[in-house]
Amino acid sequence: MKTNRNLVVGAALTGFFTIAALISFLWVPYDIEALNIADRMKTPSFSHLLGTDHFGRDILSMVMIGARTSIAVALVAVGIGMGLGVPLGLAAAARKGSLLDELIGRGNDLVFAFPSLLIAILITATFGPSALNAIIAIGIFNVPVFARLTRGSALSIWKRDFILAARVSGKNSAQISVEHILPNLSSLLIVQGTIQFSLAILAEAALSYVGLGAQPPTPSWGRMLADSQTMISLAPHLALAPGLAIVFTVLGLNLLGDGFRDVFDPRLRRGRT
């Protein structure tokens, strides 16, 4: 198979930030909890590759730990979305037109009526801001995305003859959903999963930017941007590093998703004789 450029670039970018996040568990250039007012607002130099912020904290260290926060929140949120959405979608497709299907469909419509930020606002208003609530807000919003996608694609697979063959072999709809439907959805779910992952990173950044995400002292890219905003005319570099980190991570994930889609595309792969 020809190497796919999207896949390679996407994997490289995503890999870079994932590794940075993993390294941050073991080592970061500077302790970010130690404030060093003498070194504040430094532009990039050899001792501080990305400069320092208004408390003299090392930006590189903060971006590395911020990657950890972003990736962790997005990963768990998409996990919730997939974990709940895919079974719901499979069940709705297996019982098309039933009350269950109708209920799942209505539920999806309802969640879609609340943009993820509104869900976050409501949850925050209720339980207070925290990373956990950001995860729940983004996760809830992901459930109907996966439920709809799964239901729609599962329905078209249910119409295929191999499902009929499985039914002739005495398989019930749960067995068919797991053995026949799910494996044929996997590539689609991987593609959508990467895209939702990138959207979740953007959503997490937006939430922490308005103060509804991870709380201090945990660094997060969104809050670093919020902090930098008042000083943007004095120290634009403070806004650059976390912003570019978000852009490249999201770009990497999107390219990865496109690459997966190119590789999995049945129109390219299915060798019709």
Question: In whole angstroms, what separates CA 152 from the centre of its chain?
Answer: 22
Residue closer to another protein by CB (options 118, 132) is 118
Q: Out of 2, 37, 46, 273, name the contact with another protein by CB under 8 A.
A: 273
Residue closer to another protein by CB (options 35, 190) is 190
Q: How far is the CB of 87 from another protein (least distance, A)?
A: 19
Q: Give exposure, 54-75, as e/b (b: 16+ Cβ within 10 Å).
A: bebbbbbbbbbbbbbbbbebbe
**188 closest CA partner among 110, 82, 105:** 82
Q: Out of 160, 178, 265, 268, name the contact with another protein by CB under 8 A.
A: 160
**74 closest CA partner among 196, 254, 213:** 196
Q: How far is the CB of 248 from another protein (least distance, A)?
A: 8
Q: Is the peptide bond before 217 cis (omega within 30 degrees of 0)?
A: yes
What is the token pair recorded at 24? 């941050």
Binding mask 89-128 for another protein (x = CB under 8 A): -----------------x--xx-xxxxxxx--xxxxxx--
Task: Name the segment binding another protein (CB under 8 A); options: 37-45, 58-66, 83-91, 197-205.
Answer: 197-205
Determine the Cα–Cα distance for residues 218 and 33; give it in Å rounded to an integer: 9
Q: Out of 76, 104, 189, 225, name the contact with another protein by CB under 8 A.
A: 225
Q: How far is the CB of 49 from another protein (least distance, A)?
A: 20
Q: How far is the CB of 31 from another protein (least distance, A)?
A: 27
Contacts of 46 (CB under 8 A, 6+ apart): none
Q: Out of 15, 132, 167, 268, name the contact with another protein by CB under 8 A.
A: 167
Residue 48 CA: distances (Å) to CA of 29, 58, 68, 174 = 8, 6, 20, 57
**159 closest CA partner among 230, 220, 93, 213:** 93
Task: Please state, as a whole number, how many other Cβ atoms lie within 10 Å of the Cβ of residue 128.
Answer: 10
Residue closer to another protein by CB (options 15, 115) is 115
16 binds another protein (CB under 8 A): no
Sites of contact with another protein (CB under 8 A)? 106, 109-110, 112-118, 121-126, 160-162, 164-172, 175, 179-180, 183-184, 198, 202, 205-206, 209-211, 222, 225, 228-229, 232-233, 236, 239, 243, 246-248, 250-251, 254-255, 270-273
